[in-house]
Amino acid sequence: MAKTIGSLCVTMLGLLFVTFVISRMSGIDPVLALVGESASKETYDQTYRELGLDQPILVQFWDYLMGVLQGDFGKSNLTARPVLDDIKRVFPATLELATLGTIFGVVLGVPLGVIAAVNKGRWIDQVARVIALVGYSMPIFILGFIAIVFFYAHLQWVSYGSRVDVWYEGIVPTVTGMLTLDAILDGNWEIFKNAFSYIALPAGLLGYYSLAYISRMTRSFMLEQLSSEYVTTARVKGMSEWAVIWRHAFGNIKVQLITVIALSYANLLEGSVLTEIIFAWPGIGNYLTTALLSADMNAVLGATVVVGLIFVCLNIFSDLLYKYFDPRAK
């Protein structure tokens, strides 16, 4: 455990340092972003010193690191609020989106991968491989625009552009920050239905990409197990095909699938930027993009560090689960 924590600390320190250095070398002037181009030279110079930009970069990084360790990521130039408060406000929306997308990907992707492996070379295997191929190769912004035109503009099955209708905002008590879950906890099914109509399309799109990855990996794992000698032996002994597939073959890939699902979840948490922009979803990806376009480097640094921390923690968590379910990994 001590080794794991040490690895986490070193990884996060490296991520923080690299991100900080890149932000300082990006060519974006945080002083101009703060005071504006019409500010006087005296105002510019004073702000430059107040931000500590006159110090060597290692000194700047040390001061920033000390603030981060105390939970201070600085203030956002765009919102004039502490960056950490902004992240606490927008991150639950991304968490809700990625969680629903992952559930969709697991529920459909795992059975699809198993069925494709069992029917290798048949038409159902070819269909599953095409579905996964499209999910891997088609840019998400193209699928997003197609989905908006078809499901929102043409069929009008879903809503678009927010998390909930304006007149429903603030009614459900905030418990988790995930609006659909909070509506369920409050027993307000009308708001749940409304909130679900907004999240269904972006979550379904992310879920499709998750499905493509999970089904492909599940198929690969199952093909390896189905060609093993113990599977042949089980069939020779007269064991039912259902037991051979689900109890034995699938039972031996569950540990590997844990890592695959954890990585897929982490990728959705950090990689939903384009989806959030396309669907105007108020999550951390949208917040990060807006901050970057506005040269709000404190917000960019804070959001990047938080996303990186989540990704690293999910990787470590999946490794711990791997060791728990498979003692050989210890």
Locus of tokens 């929102």: 152
In which band, very low, low, confident or very high, does the pLDDT at 190 lie, cut at 50, 70 and 90?
very high
pTM (2 decimals)? 0.83
Q: Is residue 174 domain-shared with residue 242, that is, in the same domain? A: yes
Q: Is residue 162 domain-shared with residue 284, that is, in the same domain? A: yes
Q: Does a structural domain hold residue 78?
A: no
How large is the average pLDDT for residues 144-168? 87
Closest CA to 195 of 221, 220, 229, 170: 170
Question: How much of the chain, in percent, has pLDDT values that exceed 70?
Answer: 93
Closest CA to 228 of 204, 207, 248, 211: 248
Q: Is residue 119 domain-shared with residue 208, that is, in the same domain? A: yes
Q: Is residue 97 domain-shared with residue 39, that is, in the same domain? A: no
Q: Which of 69, 102, 122 is the last residue of a domain?
A: 69
Q: Does a structural domain hold residue 85?
A: no
What is the average pLDDT score of the chain? 83
Q: Is residue 19 domain-shared with residue 148, that is, in the same domain? A: no
Q: Is residue 54 domain-shared with residue 134, that is, in the same domain? A: no
Q: 286: which strand partners? A: none
Q: Which of 37, 69, 101 is the last residue of a domain?
A: 69
Q: Does a structural domain hold residue 32?
A: yes
How large is the average pLDDT for residues 166-186? 89
Which domain range does residue 297 map to? Answer: 90-329
Those residues whose C-beta lies under 8 Å from the C-beta of residue 51, and which sit 6 or more positions away, are 30, 31, 34
Q: Does a structural domain hold residue 82?
A: no
- 173-182, 191-200, 275-284, 301-310: the lowest-pLDDT one: 301-310
Q: Is residue 40 domain-shared with residue 104, that is, in the same domain? A: no
Q: Is residue 21 domain-shared with residue 107, that is, in the same domain? A: no
Return phi, psi of residue 187, to 5°.
75, 20
Q: Is residue 306 domain-shared with residue 225, that is, in the same domain? A: yes
Q: Does a structural domain hold residue 79?
A: no
Q: Is residue 60 domain-shared with residue 127, that is, in the same domain? A: no
How large is the average pLDDT for residues 290-298? 80
90 in Cβ contact with 287 (< 8 Å): yes
Take residue 315 and report the two structure tokens written for it. Answer: 């990787």
As for how many domains the chain has, the answer is 2
Q: Does a structural domain hold residue 76?
A: no
Those residues whose C-beta lies under 8 Å from the C-beta of residue 105, and which sit 6 or more positions away, are 206, 207, 208, 209, 210, 211, 213, 214, 264
Cα–Cα distance between 218 and 257 in angstroms, integer?
A: 7
Q: Does a structural domain hold residue 271?
A: yes
Locus of tokens 């950090």: 270
How large is the average pLDDT for residues 127-144? 85
Q: Is residue 65 domain-shared with residue 191, that is, in the same domain? A: no
Q: Which of 19, 36, 69 is the last residue of a domain?
A: 69
210 in Cβ contact with 102 (< 8 Å): yes
Torsion sign over Cα 88, 90, 92, 94? negative
Q: What is the CATH number of the domain that holds 309?
A: 1.10.3720.10
Encode pLDDT of 64-82 as tens digits: 888 888 888 888 877 878 8
Locus of tokens 């909070």: 182
287, exposed or middle or buried, with CB in 10 Å at 0-12, 13-18, 19+? buried
**Angle at the Cα of 317 from the Cα atoms of 220 and 284, rounded to 5 degrees:** 95
Encode pLDDT of 14-24 as tens digits: 888 888 887 77
In which band, very low, low, confident or very high, does the pLDDT at 203 lie, cut at 50, 70 and 90?
very high
294 in Cβ contact with 33 (< 8 Å): yes
Q: Is residue 142 domain-shared with residue 43, that is, in the same domain? A: no
Sequence letter at residue 285: G
In which band, very low, low, confident or very high, does the pLDDT at 293 lie, cut at 50, 70 and 90?
confident
Higher model confidence: residue 211 or residue 5? 211
CA distances from 135 to 61, 104, 106, 128 (A): 40, 14, 14, 11
Q: Does a structural domain hold residue 77?
A: no
Give the per-residue pLDDT at 156. Answer: 86
Start-to-end CA distance of the chain, whole Å, equals: 12
